[in-house]
Amino acid sequence: MTSGRIGRSDRVVKQPLQEEGKWLQLAVGYLAVRDRTSLQVRHLLHRKGVSRTQIERVVRRLFQLGYLNDRAYAERWITGRLARRPTGRERLKAELAEKGIDPATIEDLLRNLPDEMTLARSALDVLRRTGREMTPIQTVRRLRQRGFDEETIRCMIGEDRLTHEGPGS
């Protein structure tokens, strides 16, 4: 019959499991606030002083539980980004990479987007909703800030002039 006390070997095994549960709970709470990428969760756990091994265990478990899915995150993020503040493909690519999304996933998702001209038209539509008229120089600057390439910007300025000045102006 045992004395009911936990032996040293039991404590050694239970301690890491309790720690891992604590970190898993922290990560789940972090994900409950807002959608995150696995990189963002890793950064949180690293800032809390969690070992690399434990971080990888927690992240793996979050994927298994369905709490983490970088591809689904990127899809939702792109949809929201294009609705609120449309940008060019290169800017989207850079922002997703910064969030830790795998390059192959980024390329796959960007392949499904409309062409650059359509994205630029969308960006101009959003910019015009403010009700303020923009000069061609302001339009160029805003489109550059949104990550559009020079060729797309030139085409948009030409299109914009035709739309606002008319073909015979």
pLDDT in tens, 23-34: 999 999 999 999
> Has this prediction a pTM greater than 0.85?
no
Domain that holds residue 102: 71-165
Inside any domain, residue 1: no
Amino acid 51: pLDDT: 93
Residue 22 domain-assigned (yes or no): yes
Is residue 3 one of the residues assigned to a domain? no
Last residue of a domain, one of 68, 86, 116: 68
Tally of domains in the chain: 2
pLDDT(11) > 50: no
Tell me the per-residue pLDDT of 86-110, one tens digit each, with 9 for 90 and over.
Answer: 999 999 999 999 999 999 999 999 9
* Average pLDDT score over the chain: 86
- DSSP-derived letter for residue 134 is -
Mean local confidence (pLDDT), 108-132: 90
Alpha-carbon distances of 56 from 28, 78, 88, 98, 146, rounded to whole Å: 14, 26, 33, 19, 35
Residue 2 lies in a domain: no
Q: Which CATH number covers residue 36?
A: 1.10.10
d(CA 114, CA 129): 21
By the 8 A CB rule, do 55 and 45 touch? yes
Instruction: Say how far apart CA 143 and CA 137 lie, in whole Å.
Output: 10
The angle, 0 to 180 degrees and rounded to 10, between the axes of the packed helices 8-33 and 38-47 is: 130
pLDDT in tens, 133-163: 888 899 899 999 999 999 999 998 887 654 5
Q: Which of 51, 68, 85 is the last residue of a domain?
A: 68
Q: Both 79 and 161 in a single domain? A: yes
Residues 31 and 59 placed together within one structural domain of the fold: yes
Contacts of 164 (CB under 8 A, 6+ apart): none
CA within 13 Å, CB half, 68: 23
Pair (75, 63) in one structural domain: no
Task: Name the band, by pLDDT with cuts 50, 70 and 90, for residue 168.
Answer: very low
